Structure 1
Amino acid sequence: MSGKPVLYYFYGRGKMESIRWLLAAAGVEFDEVYVSTREQYEKMIKDGDLMFHQLPLVEMDGMKLVQTKAILTYIAEKHNLLGKDLKERVIIEMYTEGIRDLMTMIMSMPFLPQEQQEKHLNNIQNKSTGCYLPVYEKALANGQFLVGNQMSCADVLLLEGLLMLEERLPSILRNFPKLQAFQGRMKAIPNISKFLQPGSQRKSPPDEKYVKTVKEVLSHIFS
């Protein structure tokens, strides 16, 4: 492999998509290896690549990194996306974990029985408008970014989360003008604009094939 980071995951979004977003925002090129069979997954465990038998896995800087939060923190620290001091960092991480909680709710939806999905989507909408989005709208009242005067990993993941929400709930931001403006500014940043173009390594919303692959590879979880 080249000196680029190598991302091991399913051909789809899931927990790896935030890592793709953060690397892209930092201007880091990366390669990907797609896990599509149970045999691949079991070999990775046998070879000692998956510390806790979980994906995603990222190879970079001579390390094999697992656990999404640890990977995101490492990338953010390396590329100056964690604020200027410890106080900014902890606020950035609070915002980051909040939007990741919301994205986890969205990511789980395709794996639910069809009859439960509408109720789950209503729950996402209620929690978004009643809890999460007001927090970020307020945070953007006095600046272009969530924390301080430069982009952080929280801004990148917030944009990712907003776009995920709008895919399911197109009018979700109608009462959040600062989030709408934030989204426009973030999309105009060159590295992010490039990642949003067709043909980039950004993945499409999960389809039946993605759900089927995940369930087959991780059959011990879904059985």
Structure 2
Amino acid sequence: MLTIFDCDGVLIDSEIISSAVTAEVLNDEGFAITADEVTSRFAGLASGEMEAILSEETGLPVSGRIKERIQAEFDRRIVHVKAVPGISDLLDALDGPRCVGSNADAAYLKRALTSAGLYDRFKPYVFSAGEVGTRKGKPDPNVFLHAARELGADPAETIVIEDSFAGVTAAVRAGMRAIGFTGGAHSWPGHAEALMEAGAETVVRKHSDILAVIEAFGSWDGRGV
């Protein structure tokens, strides 16, 4: 059984960094938004989608200069990113193939996962949605279906661990089974409910709970029978 991990917010505690940086820069540029709002509304979306939504809502363009400011500050802080607690123990215990499926670009994934000491646990199976298959990001299932093809896995026998509405939606659209994860430092009130609404079969807060869920999936078809 193939297990696909999202990166930001599941493997590494980067979402809280991203949300803080994004909110700081946007507020400085005249957009009134909090880090919690950035997380709850935009976590997991493909590049450019947040900017399009904010521009439509406010009538103000999120210019290339603003995006460059956000990226530069995020790049400065991400070198200090840490692995989400418990992930190394889970990877030690997990049998079968595993990979990363993310909306982030491949260069970032290598840099961030290396900083957190996790890149070698997955290479070469670290997939960026914008660089494989149809190049479409989550909630499109592209990156997950590509991962299944690359590792010779049946989508119906593949498990995806995701912390975002868009990511869980992509897993469901791929015909895969989704476990929602709320153990990242960015988790917010209503996070678990949002993941269940998107189609996660269950939600866990600790990586130490995931192995038991995966084992239970062997006798649980996800339809409650």
TM-score bin (small chain): 0.3 to 0.5
**TM-score, normalising length: structure 1:** 0.32
**TM-score, normalising length: structure 2:** 0.32
Q: Which has the higher helix share?
A: 1
Larger of the two Rg values belongs to structure? 1
